[in-house]
Amino acid sequence: MDIIGSFDVKFLQIINEAGVCDAALLPSMEAPDLKKIFETMILVRTFNQRALSLQREGRIGTYASVLGQEASQIGSALALEKDDWIFPSFRESAVLISRGYPMWMLYRYWMGDERGMKAPDDMNIFPMSVPVGTQLPHAVGAAFAMKYRNDRRVAAVYFGDGGSSRGDFHEALNLAGVFKSPVIFLLQNNQWAISVPRARQTAAATLAQRAFGYGIPGIQVDGNDILAVYRATKEAADRARGGEGPTLIECYTYRLDDHTTADDASRYRRKEEVEEWREKEPLLRFRLFLEKKGLRTKEYEEEVAKKALEAVDKEIEKAEKFPPPDPADIIRYTNFELTARQKTELKEFGWEK
């Protein structure tokens, strides 16, 4: 028999766990860029920690932590241009914060207020998608439209290892390949989908290799190495803008916390596994890397942490002081114009102003 096709699955890492980097692969970044990355990581961590404690105090509802996935989210989000479109799942707080999304609005959202998902007009950020994997085709469609209009933009869609088992994933990759759409599939492989381990999502050895079945490039990156994620995303975006179509990037990372605050991961995964991954978490190695470059001192980090805490506290205050939503909003945003029935209901329920 002849071999009529074969595929190599590439893995990209730039900074290893010891903070040592492969200089040849480093993206061109000046000190302020690197510091911005670090500061965003600290800000996200602060946001996340506070969200978890607010949930425990009953001040917000169920929340999905991003702890451990900061590199995959921030590295990719910062590699995109301002006009690009982003299609997040519910775990993408770090993506949104990296793009300047108001944190108080995110808190509002997790308080159960839809207004928290009304992205500011200058941000092309879709509302977080709760049904897993369903957002992928939307990104393909937006990318189709970008190409149709000759806009040099890309659509980036975030989803998990669990999401990659849905039909939506397969259909979206296939469509994107056929359309050659400028879309980047940012698969956040955090090894778990609630209690289901990655090995039970698919018999395939990597998630990246699934791209090949659809005729598009796929790569696995060390998802705890923020510069590797940045570089891979930048390259995919450049290719997309250059008319070369979609890319699947599997960010190989780990969900260090419970699935959400409603979950108890000790029921299904070993403590030792979590501890092993804790040593590989993204902030540790980026901190070491900056230290080696002389960009991180204890004082600097303390200052960054202090500022982050102040900023987050202010945002929480703003979120909690925000007036409650108007019940008429339930109906008001359903259609472009109220239907006759909706008009009657606004009256009947006493919600009409």
Partner 1 sequence: MGKITIVQAINMALSEEMQRDTNVVIIGEDVGKDGGVFRVTEGLQEKFGPERVVDTPLSELGIIGSAIGMAAYGIKPVVEIQFMGFIYAGLEQIFSHASRLRSRSRGRFSAPIVVRTPYGIGIKPPELHSESAEALFCHMPGVKVVVPSTPYNAKGLLKSAIRDSDPVIFLEPSRLYRSIKAEVPEDDYTVPLGKAEVYQEGKEITVVAWGTMLHRAAEAAEGFDCEIIDLMTLKPLDEEAILKSVRKTGRLVVVHEASKSGGLGAEISALVAEEAVEYLKAPILRVAGPEAVIPMARLEDYYMPGKERIRKAYEKVMLY
Ligand X SMILES: Cc1ncc(C[n+]2csc(CCOP(=O)(O)OP(=O)(O)O)c2C)c(N)n1
Task: Report how far apart, in Å, the C-alpha atoms of 179 and of each of 127, 147, 148, 152, 167 are.
Answer: 24, 9, 11, 16, 18
Q: Which residue has the tokens 């994933």?
A: 169
Whole-angstrom distance, CA of residue 255 vs CA of residue 161? 11
- According to the binding rule CB under 8 A, does residue 345 interact with partner 1? yes
Q: Closest CB to ligand X among 153 and 255?
A: 255
* Residue 255 annotated as catalytic: yes
* Residue 59 annotated as catalytic: no
Q: Closest CB to partner 1 among 197 and 243?
A: 197
Q: Which two tokens stand for residue 123?
A: 């941000």
Whole-angstrom distance, CA of residue 158 vs CA of residue 219? 15
Residue from 45, 50, 91, 153 in contact with ligand X (CB under 6 A): 91
Binding letters toward ligand X, positions 240-269, x by CB under 6 A: ---------------x---x----------
- Within positions 103 to 132, which residues make up the interface with partner 1, using CB under 8 A? 111-114, 130-132
- Residue with the CB atom nearest Mg ion in the bound state: 160
- Within positions 128 to 187, which residues make up the interface with Mg ion, using CB under 5 A? 160-161
Binding letters toward ligand X, positions 118-147, x by CB under 6 A: ------------xxx---------------
Residue from 88, 137, 141, 160 in contact with ligand X (CB under 6 A): 160
Whole-angstrom distance, CA of residue 57 vs CA of residue 50? 10
Residue 134: how many CB atoms within 10 A of its CB? 18
Question: Which has the closest alpha carbon to 198: 277, 298, 90?
Answer: 277
Candidates 138, 198, 255, 285; catalytic one: 255
Cβ proximity of 256 and 250 under 8 Å: no
Q: Which two tokens stand for residue 318?
A: 């703003």
Residue 114: how many CB atoms within 10 A of its CB? 13
* Residue 170 annotated as catalytic: no
- Summarize as ranges the residues that interact with ligand X (CB under 6 A): 91, 130-132, 159-163, 188, 190, 192-194, 255, 259
- Summarize as ranges the residues that interact with Mg ion (CB under 5 A): 160-161, 190, 193
